[in-house]
Amino acid sequence: MKIITLSEEEFDEYAKKHKYKSPYQSSNYGKAMKVEGYNHHFLGFLNNSNELVGATMMIYKPVFLGYKFAYAPYGYLVDYTNEDFIEELTIRLKKLLFKQRFLYIKMNPLVHCAERKKDGQIISYNPEINGILEILQKNGYIHHGFNKFFENDKPRWTAITKLITTNDRLYHQLSKNIRNKISKATKCGIEIRQGSNEELETLYEFIKRKHNKGIKYYRSILDCFKEDAEIYFADINPSKYIENSQKEYEKEININSELNEELQRLSIAGKDITKIMNRKMESDKLLGLYHESLAIATNLYQQYPNGITIGGCLVIKYDKGVHLIIEGFNQEYRNYNCNYLLKWELIKKFNNEGFNYFNLNGIAGEFNEKNKYSGLNEMKLGYNASAIEYIGEFDLIINPTMYNMYKKKMEKKGKKI
């Protein structure tokens, strides 16, 4: 086996054909991470016939006394079931990285453990997972465990909606709760539009508290992925909100009037009015709600006659998939459910454009007990998404002596590495 340096073009060509392909194993992501202080390098793995049988992009930066930390986002692009190959690759990789003053390398292979339904029930299981784990651990890769939440650099669990049918069928496959949220957002005059890169600051206001990434990181993503990175926004159209609220209010007035006439008729006839009275009381409540909604819509129009942006997201298109990188919204308008409509409109759009799946990003791996991520799971998996479980994160120690010194230093500071 030989380890060689690949050009950007050589690496991207190989990566896009691999079963473990990902936008994070791409030259665009490597270039984007420069703003976070990382350099990047493309390695190719040749067999004895000089055929390219594996590759990886590593991003790296100095962390301790001139020694470096390396990260292979979503793992090497290799066959993890080939024990002899993994053994030889690891030996050669450790020798190479030791000479280049690396402490350790982190990776989280895009190897599936299982696909599950929204209740956690297994749809399919990877029978090779235990063998792969054994091979990696045997060769010194330290597994961070089958954690259920967000302990790793990248989520170990993700929600993926397969785009393999019509939009009408996709809609009927959504959970009832998701459909209700979408309907409410539409009635509130929410409209989805594609934004421009110049509007990144607007998006950043919605997402800046969600992760420890600065605006420069997201600008770098847009610059490096170019047309494959897109921003979308959710706006309130106050005129549409008023129009929808007026229609509902007037419709309910007619229903209420008919119920009132029916109530009087039954009372005069001396018949039981319990059922019709209950319906009348419910209609009275709806009238109050619709009147309030109309007042809110009118007030919004007075404040923002041209509309107001209340949420947005950033997506990356890669090969046949679309990846939701980050999303957020103005908490003041959380009851408008713009994030539900936003995801649905994107699913429809990219389904029409021929993409195969929409990756809704991270979820929790706990389905049976209530936890702080239960709402997140309910929302994302409600888009008829499957819960995909990956093998998890690994560390390969390159220089044990210097690594232990670095680890002790970080522990004194109360930090994990």
Instruction: Let me know whether 274 and 188 are in one domain.
Output: no
Question: 39-43, 142-146, 151-155, 241-245: which range is least confident on average?
Answer: 151-155
Where is the domain boundary, 303, 326, 341? Answer: 303
pLDDT of 268 higher than 90: no
Instruction: Let me know whether 54 and 90 are in one domain.
Output: yes
Residue 115 lies in a domain: no
pLDDT given at position 210: 86
pLDDT of 61 higher than 90: yes
Gyration radius of the chain's alpha carbons: 27
Kindly indicate the confidence band of residue 310, based on its pLDDT and cuts at 50, 70 and 90.
very high
- The arithmetic mean of pLDDT across residues 59-81, rounded, is 97
pLDDT in tens, 342-364: 999 999 999 999 999 999 999 99
pLDDT given at position 414: 87
Instruction: Let me know whether 259 and 224 are in one domain.
Output: no
* Residue 24 CB burial class (10 angstroms; 0-12, 13-18, ≥19): buried
Residue 210 lies in a domain: yes
* Residue 354 CB burial class (10 angstroms; 0-12, 13-18, ≥19): exposed
pLDDT in tens, 179-223: 999 999 999 999 999 999 999 999 999 999 888 899 999 999 999
Q: What is the 3-state secondary structure (H, E, C) of 235-303?
A: EECHHHHHHHHHHHHHHHHHHHHHHHHHHHHHHHCCCCCHHHHHHHHHHHHHHHHHHHHHHHHHHHHHH
Structural domain including 68 reads 2-108+393-412
Q: For the chain, what is the mean pLDDT?
A: 96
Kindly indicate the confidence band of residue 265, based on its pLDDT and cuts at 50, 70 and 90.
confident
Instruction: Let me know whether 280 and 311 are in one domain.
Output: no
pLDDT of 153 higher than 90: no
Kindly indicate the confidence band of residue 273, based on its pLDDT and cuts at 50, 70 and 90.
confident
pLDDT given at position 251: 93
pLDDT given at position 183: 97
Residue 261 lies in a domain: yes
Instruction: Let me know whether 233 and 244 are in one domain.
Output: no
pLDDT given at position 274: 87
Instruction: Let me know whether 77 and 9 are in one domain.
Output: yes
Identify the CA nearest to 219 among candidates 12, 8, 31, 72. 31
Question: 47-61, 78-92, 158-172, 401-415: which range is least confident on average?
Answer: 401-415
pLDDT of 297 higher than 90: yes
Residue 369 lies in a domain: no
Instruction: Let me know whether 32 and 11 are in one domain.
Output: yes
Instruction: Let me know whether 38 and 180 are in one domain.
Output: no
Question: 58-62, 155-159, 278-282, 328-332: which range is least confident on average?
Answer: 278-282
The answer to whether 221 and 32 are in contact (CB under 8 A) is yes
Instruction: Let me know whether 292 and 404 are in one domain.
Output: no
Q: Structural domain tally of the chain?
A: 3
Q: What is the CATH number of the domain that holds 22?
A: 3.40.630.30
Instruction: Let me know whether 182 and 103 are in one domain.
Output: no
Angle (CA) 371-374-378 rounded to 5° is 170
- The arithmetic mean of pLDDT across residues 3-30, rounded, is 97
Phi first, then psi, for residue 120 (nearest 5°) are 95, -5
Residue 293 lies in a domain: yes
pLDDT of 6 higher than 90: yes
Residue 377 lies in a domain: no
Instruction: Let me know whether 187 and 280 are in one domain.
Output: no
* Residue 19 CB burial class (10 angstroms; 0-12, 13-18, ≥19): exposed
Give the residue, 303 or 414, on which the prediction is more confident. Answer: 303
